[in-house]
Structure 1
């Protein structure tokens, strides 16, 4: 049996931090599908080992996540077959007697790949797809009712939209999250967004949206800086979505 080949596809974009040349570029990996979660791991395990119940595996994985979180909260480091997680506090103290200041210092963690995982990375081929055409994009949508990231949309429930520069100004009626049905009619989320960040939105799917093929659209003037766009930018989810009740 031939060994499976792994390929990461990347888009290049200008390196804004480079001072030596205006032609330097850095790479953004093209993600395939939405972010994977414990439910996806459970699906893989049950496919290989049918004697294990999916619900039991998910419960064990969730308990594992809670245990790891508690280790880190207690100031311990944790290592598995993939990464080592170590607590770290960043920032500068003016003197050795200075107290912790939440406005200056930050509690975070370091994620360090294990030796075995580093060896796996060596087997990956990188394919350059060319210049990245736009930094405004939707990378995935996740239906909170089902946990699916395959384009399923449950009418009346929340949808997690992930991407880049998708934050909206809710005080501007022209901005927001829109759902276009197969008939071309648009239905805007009227409920306040549960999460409204540059990389993630959580929007309630309007109850008026009909079942069937649906296009998810974000309209925004957000740029990632203090300057906003003069004209609305329409960011369309390229994933084929289907609304259901």
Structure 2
């Protein structure tokens, strides 16, 4: 029997992604915070007993990641043991002579778990904390143009947002669907006329004319079953989305 070294806590949410069973749930892990390279290196020294300083480890890690990115951009695949990475071209080529077109095709980097990370799974204990409180939650987004799930955004095309209690409703002037640029914190609101579908479990919008970058998706609403909340609540998608 594997030794339990790690614990993950999760809440249950209504599973709106499957239609066959209206009473089933999906589990979402709760994360206290996101760790950056510096914090991981400090933990490796303080907890893991690393034999070099945290600053030296951070410097070496940044050098490694920079070189890895360079090699990925040259088309090499990466296998660290903990994760694999490769460069992928998305989009359809209509003929053998068609060349790459940035307006039609895109380049993305894909990362997947490696053997060493998979080997840690038996050491993890999962604690289900019960059904989450009745707050709005975004579970999945699909970029209709590229068929990308939880990844890409295509400005001017539709984005399908699946979740629970995400219908945009209320009289507060700040409710709506927002794309927040992670680098600048600039908030771009979807115009009301660009709301294609607006249901409790699915909202579809036309993606605004966003510049290239990384974005956080937020839905601000007063919707709840049967009545409007007095104050708006915000559902923040836990994955970042990219405009290439």
Match of 2:115 in 1: 115
Q: SS in structure 2 opposite 1:35?
A: coil
**Could you tell me which residue of structure 1 aligns to residue 126 of structure 2?**
126
Aligned length: 168
Q: 1:97 Cα deviation (Å)?
A: 2.5
| 1: CA distance, partners of 2:64 / 2:183 | 27
Query: Which ranges of structure 2 fall in alignment gaps of 5 or more residues?
Result: 139-162, 164-171, 187-194, 206-218, 223-227, 236-244
Matched, 1:197 2:179: yes
Instruction: Indicate the residue corresponding to 1:229 in structure 2.
Output: 221
Q: What TM-score results when the alignment is normalised by the length of structure 2?
A: 0.54
Deviations 1:38-74 (A, max 9, x none): 1122212332547633322211111111011101111
Q: Would the alpha carbon gap of residues 51 and 128 (structure 1) be closer, same or farther in structure 2, given more than 3 Å must change?
A: closer
Q: Corresponding residue for 2:38?
A: 39
Q: Distance in 2 between matches of 1:15 and 1:101?
A: 38
User: Normalising by the residue count of structure 1, what TM-score does the alignment of the two structures yield?
Assistant: 0.54
Alignment of 1:27-176 (within 5 A): 27-31=27-31, 33-47=32-46, 48-49=48-49, 52-133=52-133, 134-135=135-136, 175=174
Instruction: Say if 1:51 and 1:8 are closer, same or farther in 2 by CA, change over 3 A.
Output: closer
Give the match for residue 19 of structure 2: 19
Structure 2: how far apart are the matches of 1:175 and 1:200? 19
- Closer, same or farther in 2 for the Cα pair 1:68/1:102, shift >3 Å? same
Unaligned runs of 5+ in 1: 138-163, 165-172, 177-195, 205-221, 237-245
Alignment CA distance shift 1:50-1:94 (3 Å): closer
CA root-mean-square deviation:
4.1
Cα shift readout 1:185-229 (whole Å, capped 9, x = no counterpart): xxxxxxxxxxx735958669xxxxxxxxxxxxxxxxx99654973
